[in-house]
Structure 1
Amino acid sequence: MAINLQGDKAEQSFRVRCAECLDGGEKMEECLKKKEMAPTTKPVKQNQPDEPTKENDSEESDDSEKKFQSQLQSESWKAKHEAGSELALAYELFIVTENVKWSDVAGLGGAKEALREAVILPIKSPHLFTGRRTPWGGVLLFGAPGTGKTYLARAVATEARGSTFSVSSSDLMSKWLGASRKLMMNLFRLAREHKPSIIFIDDIDLLCGSGDKAEFLAQMQDVRNANEGILVLGATSIPWTLDPAIRKRFAKRIYIPLPEECARSIMFKRMLGSARNTLTESDFATLGQKTEGYSGADISCIVRDAMMQPLRMVQSATHFKRVRGSVWNMPSQVVDDLWTPCSPEDPDCVEMTWMDIQDDKLQEPVVSMSHMLMCLSKAKPTVNEQDLEQFKKFMEDFGQEG
């Protein structure tokens, strides 16, 4: 669970609240420890002169003492749990600053435009939404897994420059009766205190399928009626499991499709990052053509596997040669005593293994197009045609294409 608070005043007030919560929890734990460590004294029963001593007196006192200790622990746990559910968000939330821009999201032009209208514009220019022109209270992002729904929400948090509460459905669910309801109430209360704010809930379908759906519906209805500068942004990979009441709260439903060919080429290039490679622009275009039906997560797995190929070459190599290159932690410094794997037929080769080389003198080979194609031949997409048909049908019935 994460929070992005904009403004020094909001951040300071939240930090003070978290500190108070933590202090209260620590004091409660110390009190419980003292009670556990305190020596227990058994009551001594004085026998009357005419009353005979009973052999089961000690057993009765032991039973009563165990019963009292059990009741005390139960009451202490109950108080601690009630306080914990009241302050659980303070323990689990932490302040982060998202730094994902619209330009970092490849493709999805329609989804970006819809989110600018539904999220960015009401927060940046609230004076434009007066009278019967009101902003959306809930926006749902739905699509196949790995298409960038969460990444797109991070970009929204950066561009909106408001207070952003990012949670997963599991953060708001508890097996204890009433705890989930309190967590949800505290989340929306914090959002109201730091408005304008965005609440992003990932895997919203899990939350809506739990027994606390009524509280979520009530909070969403309050947000919709009050029009108080709070937007709930939900994401799901199985939108057809949402009932009509949930769809009503998320009036704006945007479909996040699989990346197009151009977007896939850009993803390959960006995911390689600063890794040494020999790929050209035509190579990236070829990879984009060959990955039809692959999601962004699938492409990420292919690139990660391809970047491991040079390391596998290092592990299996039996011959190395000296090369000239930059020091790994000082790119501006060039040395001549680095070692890289080579063929046994190379005239400069030396028979050794990577274990015989000094740690900072080992240079891995560059990532090549052959590495990419080899990893692509072994990788399969996680989404099939039947899954895409379900998303398209839901989009045609209830959604909007992104």
Structure 2
Amino acid sequence: MNLREITENVKLAREYALLGNYSSASVLYQGVLQQVQRHLLTMREASLRAGWQKVLREITEENKQLDEIMATLANIQLNATPSNPNNDGDFISTHIKRRSSPCPAPREGRAGGGRPSVGVRQQPRYPPRGPNGERGRPSRGGREKKDPKEGKETGKHKDDKAKGEAQDGVVKKFDGSGYDKDLVEALERDIISQNPNIKWNDIADLEDAKKLLKEAVVLPMWMPQFFKGIRRPWKGVLMVGPPGTGKTLLAKAVATECKTTFFNVSSSTLTSKYRGESEKLVRLLFEMARHYAPTTIFIDEIDSMCSRRGTSEEHEASRRVKAELLVQMDGVGGATESEDPSKMVMVLAATNFPWDIDEALRRRLEKRIYIPLPSGTGRVELLRINLQQLELEGDVDMSKIAEHMEGYSGADITNVCRDASLMAMRRRIEGLSPEEIRNISREELHMPTTMQDFEAALRKVSKSVSAADLEKYEKWIEEFGSC
């Protein structure tokens, strides 16, 4: 995709809108929105994705304002002939009432401050007299005061409006009034994507964990009529396991299958040096999650935020943040009988130290799933996923390599594959000067990876999880697990 083309199209659309060529501007805006949405699906880096999401929201807002202007002009054209041509005041007030767009409509008549053109009817300075012969106050800027009761929207009307925006594909923008603008922007940066695009097939092994997550999170979104009453969805899900076993990937797969907005939250997101601001961040996070619902809030390393309360090392500010998080999690829950399933907010958490988590939080995370090290079949599958873009020699036996990696985590297996893929390059540049290395052609570096490269990598890369650690995880999940 040509980023320069997007920039030029946005500039051209704005110029058309300023010149009054609204139909051409609308076509350009729609094309730009489609290009940006396609570009977002291919991006992986969170910081770049957040920037492009901000651009998408701004362009969507401009396009929405343009649609409002076009709708206003269409209404004016439909009612161009007044019922009583002799009553100019009624004709003008009719058009003023029909203007609902906050954007100014294009002016006609005066050009360059000169006299009005012939055939254009001017608005009278004062409004017409009423039945008792008195004149009302002249309106300023062509706007009339509205009855406050008429301006208020009922809750049902707001819900219908939000559903209509979702069906039209318009990105809903969170109204951060009442909160610090910087706090809202900080949390919006943690929205990874409307769709992380990670499928279950992208994750090797972990079939039991996938099955449990589907039942706890995905199926309630697909079968909302079934998961009601006592069968209501779980309030939260805790994934427990050694480092590098795929807990974050599982959370992204859940967000993809549910088609939910994905918040990736860490302790740094909800921490501030100012008193009381961390609690505001926690509350704002859950309010934004309800706005962008259905939403998945993934809190990684939750033990760093919600360790046991009442210890001597605990600070007062940390205790307040924990209390606010527990209150918000109790209020967010799954969809109940009276709630719309499309507004469900699911809290997913991951930790490597489940024994340090506060008891109250453990109670709210009702489903506790163990994410173990990959099995023998899973290690072979992981090798195939990691090596699918790498050229291998015919002597490479993945089953034999997987046997030597018993006790390795998924991250350890990835490191072995990465180290083995660099072995051929290391042999090629050994003993060469920097100038000779720079002059090596791409064809010379194109060398397949051999079985000897994997054997050398296995000697260099050791497993990162000890047997004692595995015993602690299994003991905790046996006592507190909810599989």
Q: Taking structure 1 as reference, are residues 376 and 104 closer, same or farther at Cα in structure 2, changes over 3 Å only?
A: same
**Cα displacement string for residues 85-140 of structure 1 (whole angstroms, at most 9, x for unaligned residues):** 35432355453532221122111111111001000001111111122221101000
Match of 2:224 in 1: 126
Is it true that 1:266 corresponds to 2:266 in the alignment?
Answer: no
Q: Taking structure 1 as reference, are residues 106 and 361 closer, same or farther at Cα in structure 2, changes over 3 Å only?
A: closer
- The aligned amino acid for 2:361 is I
- The aligned amino acid for 1:221 is D
- Give the length in aligned residue pairs: 306
Greater strand content: 1
**Cα displacement string for residues 202-242 of structure 1 (whole angstroms, at most 9, x for unaligned residues):** 11111113331000000111123874522101010110101
Secondary structure in 2 matching 1:12: coil
Give runs of aligned pairs for residues 102-141 of structure 1, distance below 5 A: 102-141=200-239
Structure 2 residue ranges without an equivalent (≥5)? 1-45, 58-162, 308-317
Q: Taking structure 1 as reference, are residues 91 and 286 closer, same or farther at Cα in structure 2, changes over 3 Å only?
A: closer
RMSD value, Cα: 2.9
Give runs of aligned pairs for residues 186-335 of structure 1, distance below 5 A: 186-209=284-307, 210-211=318-319, 212-224=321-333, 227=336, 228=339, 229-278=344-393, 283-316=397-430
Cα deviation for residue 399 of structure 1 reads 0.8
**Cα displacement string for residues 151-176 of structure 1 (whole angstroms, at most 9, x for unaligned residues):** 11111111111222222232122222
Is it true that 1:375 corresponds to 2:466 in the alignment?
Answer: no
Q: Taking structure 1 as reference, are residues 94 and 398 closer, same or farther at Cα in structure 2, changes over 3 Å only?
A: closer
Match of 1:12 in 2: 170
Cα deviation for residue 311 of structure 1 reads 1.4
Separation (CA, whole Å) in 1 of partners of 2:439 and 2:181: 58
**Cα displacement string for residues 321-351 of structure 1 (whole angstroms, at most 9, x for unaligned residues):** xxxxxxxxxxxxxxxxxxxxxxxxxxxxxxx
Q: Taking structure 1 as reference, are residues 127 and 157 closer, same or farther at Cα in structure 2, changes over 3 Å only?
A: same
Q: Taking structure 1 as reference, are residues 356 and 112 closer, same or farther at Cα in structure 2, changes over 3 Å only?
A: closer
**Do the aligned partners of 1:144 and 1:388 also contact (CA within 8 Å) in 2?**
yes
Secondary structure in 2 matching 1:141: strand
Q: Taking structure 1 as reference, are residues 214 and 364 closer, same or farther at Cα in structure 2, changes over 3 Å only?
A: same
**Do the aligned partners of 2:252 and 2:262 also contact (CA within 8 Å) in 1?**
no
Separation (CA, whole Å) in 2 of partners of 1:361 and 1:188: 53
Cα deviation for residue 8 of structure 1 reads 9.6
Q: 392-401 or 237-246: which moved more?
A: 392-401
Match of 1:160 in 2: 258
Separation (CA, whole Å) in 1 of partners of 2:198 and 2:171: 26
- TM-score, with structure 2 as normaliser: 0.58
Secondary structure in 2 matching 1:84: helix
**Do the aligned partners of 2:216 and 2:234 also contact (CA within 8 Å) in 1?**
yes
Separation (CA, whole Å) in 1 of partners of 2:188 and 2:248: 23
Q: Taking structure 1 as reference, are residues 399 and 356 closer, same or farther at Cα in structure 2, changes over 3 Å only?
A: same
Cα deviation for residue 13 of structure 1 reads 3.9
Cα deviation for residue 279 of structure 1 reads 5.1
Separation (CA, whole Å) in 2 of partners of 1:114 and 1:160: 14
Secondary structure in 1 matching 2:264: strand
- The aligned amino acid for 1:312 is R
Secondary structure in 1 matching 2:346: strand
Q: Identity, % of aligned pairs?
A: 39
Cα deviation for residue 379 of structure 1 reads 1.4
**Do the aligned partners of 2:240 and 2:371 also contact (CA within 8 Å) in 1?**
yes
Secondary structure in 1 matching 2:201: helix
Match of 1:397 in 2: 479
Secondary structure in 1 matching 2:445: coil
Separation (CA, whole Å) in 2 of partners of 1:355 and 1:86: 47
Q: 259-268 or 156-165: which moved more?
A: 156-165
Cα deviation for residue 267 of structure 1 reads 0.8
Cα deviation for residue 360 of structure 1 reads 4.2
Secondary structure in 1 matching 2:170: helix
Secondary structure in 2 matching 1:265: helix
- The aligned amino acid for 1:232 is V
Separation (CA, whole Å) in 2 of partners of 1:91 and 1:354: 41
Greater relative CO (CA pairs within 8 A, separation 6+): 1
Secondary structure in 1 matching 2:424: helix
Q: 231-240 or 219-228: which moved more?
A: 219-228
Match of 1:386 in 2: 468
Separation (CA, whole Å) in 1 of partners of 2:252 and 2:334: 26
- The aligned amino acid for 2:414 is S
**Do the aligned partners of 1:317 and 1:353 also contact (CA within 8 Å) in 2?**
no
Match of 1:327 in 2: none
Q: Taking structure 1 as reference, are residues 132 and 400 closer, same or farther at Cα in structure 2, changes over 3 Å only?
A: closer
